[in-house]
Amino acid sequence: MKKTWHIMLAVLLLAAVLTGCQQTEAQTPTVPTEIKLYQEKSPDILTKLGKLKAVTKEPDPAGVTFHSVGFAADGAYLMVTFSAPLDQSDKWQQGFVYVIDEETERVYWEVPVAPVVGPLIGRPAKEDQKGYIMLLNPGYAVKSGSIVTVILGEYKREHYKVP
């Protein structure tokens, strides 16, 4: 009886495996040819970003409020927190958010991607909710006390001292 039970269980398990497994087409991953962690003294991006008018009052006319630049993952990431209307913050992604070290003119814009979570961007789900965007901080170059310029879409805040 016991032997029959084991044989039936083995047959059921084999049938489940054979019906559940299907051959899928192999996919070739795409690998970027060049990876830039930051741009050092890039005249093109600095010229483009330099044309934006700096904010003098919070929130700016579009309703954006910058809260802070901090650190995450022991300083490996810069964490930019903000409040913004949903139609503004929904558009922000890599290439719309920058932190510029004013001393070295290095531009930080690369959003890290976690394997399960995806891009490390926490967009507000409702009005008056804070959001965040994390940027790579290679070599831990931006430190406490660094003076930075923060750009969120068309919003620009200069001379922010990182706590």
- Band the pLDDT of 37: cuts 50, 70, 90: very low
Q: What is the pLDDT of residue 13?
A: 64
Residue 4 lies in a domain: no
Can you give the length of the chain in residues?
A: 163
Domain count, the chain: 1
The reported pTM is 0.69
Q: What is the pLDDT of residues 83-137, one digit of tens each?
A: 988 888 888 888 888 999 999 989 999 999 888 888 899 988 888 889 999 999 9
Residue 129 lies in a domain: yes
80: amino acid identity, one letter: V
CA 130 to CA 125: how far, in whole Å?
9
CATH code where residue 78 lies? 2.60.40
Residue 3 lies in a domain: no
Q: Which DSSP state fits 15?
A: H
CA 41 to CA 45: how far, in whole Å?
9
Residue 65 lies in a domain: yes
Residue 154 lies in a domain: yes
Q: Could you list the residue range(s) of the whole structural domain that residue 77 is in?
A: 39-158
Order the strands of the 65-72 sheet from edge to edge.
Answer: 65-72, 77-83, 130-136, 121-122
